């Protein structure tokens, strides 16, 4: 995992190999979770998903229940801040794949933290369509590689969107 993380900033032959580096790391992180089954080979009529996760656990009052049965992940291994368009695209994809009453869950994996406005978009999508969108950025990836519990990180990010938490995690310490 550490080797894949370190490769994210390497030199790449092309954009495809650059993107693949983050997709492989995301897939490995997701595969480490008990009950998660991950593939990078899902294609729909209009999209190809970077990572798709089947969650076979539905344990009440846990992060597994918060996530739902499917996670769709997009990976952006680019320099610079991922903007609003990534969140809108991911939300549209998830909305087209879920039933009206079902929860949707998406992760944007990126090297840089997503734009601040993405948190506003995530909150709106949660309230409007029961879709939870989170960003796992380079700082988070570093923590995961260095043994931070990924499920606790997911729970923190989910609750931040659902409760509209504005207090920094290092100040409220609920997930440390």
Q: What DSSP assignment string belongs to 30-84?
A: HHTSTTEEEES--B-SS-B-SEEEEE----TTSHHHHH-SEEEEEEE--SS---H
Rounded CA-CA distance 50/155 in Å is: 22
**Residue 121 CA to its chain's centroid (Å):** 15
Partners of 20 in beta bridges: none
pTM over 0.85: yes
State mean pLDDT over 39-54.
Answer: 92
Q: Point out the least confidently predicted range of 2-11, 50-59, 77-86, 131-140.
A: 2-11
CA atoms within a 13 Å half-sphere pointing along the CA-CB vector of 120: 6
Extents of the domains making up the chain: 2-172
Task: Please give the pLDDT value at position 34.
Answer: 94
pLDDT score of 99 more than 80:
no
Residues 65, 59 contacting (CB under 8 angstroms): yes
Percent of all residues in the chain with a pLDDT value above 70, rounded to a whole number: 100
Task: Please give the pLDDT value at position 11.
Answer: 79
Q: Does domain 2-172 have CATH number 3.40.1350.10?
A: yes
State mean pLDDT over 16-28.
Answer: 91
State mean pLDDT over 168-174.
Answer: 87
Task: Please give the pLDDT value at position 9.
Answer: 83
Task: Please give the pLDDT value at position 169.
Answer: 85
Q: C-alpha dihedral over 55, 15, 140, 69, to 10 degrees?
A: -10
Task: Please give the pLDDT value at position 141.
Answer: 97
Task: Please give the pLDDT value at position 89.
Answer: 94
User: Angle CA(135)–CA(136)–CA(139) in degrees, nearest 5?
Assistant: 125
Helical (H) or strand (E) element with 174: none
- pLDDT 10s digits, 49-93: 999 999 999 888 889 999 989 999 999 998 899 999 999 999 999
The band of 118, judged by pLDDT with boundaries at 50, 70 and 90, is: very high
Rounded CA-CA distance 144/33 in Å is: 12
pLDDT score of 158 more than 80:
yes
Residues 11, 94 contacting (CB under 8 angstroms): no
């Amino acid at each position: 995992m550490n080797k894949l993380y370190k490769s994210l900033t390497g030199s790449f032959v092309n954009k495809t190999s650059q993107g693949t580096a983050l997709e492989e790391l995301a897939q490995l992180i997701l595969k480490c979770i008990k009950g998660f089954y991950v593939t990078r080979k899902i294609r729909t009529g209009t999209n190809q998903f970077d990572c798709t996760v089947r969650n076979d656990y539905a344990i009440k009052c846990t992060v597994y229940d918060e996530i739902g049965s499917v996670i769709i992940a997009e990976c952006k291994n680019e320099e610079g801040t991922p903007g609003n368009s990534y969140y809108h695209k991911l939300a549209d994809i998830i909305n087209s794949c879920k039933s009206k009453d079902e929860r949707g869950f998406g992760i944007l994996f990126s090297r840089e933290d997503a734009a601040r406005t993405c948190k506003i978009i995530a909150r709106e999508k949660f309230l409007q369509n029961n879709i939870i969108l989170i960003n796992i950025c380079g700082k988070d990836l570093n923590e995961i590689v260095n043994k931070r519990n990924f499920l606790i990180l997911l729970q923190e990010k989910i609750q931040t969107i659902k409760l509209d938490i504005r207090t920094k995690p290092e100040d409220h310490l609920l997930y440390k």
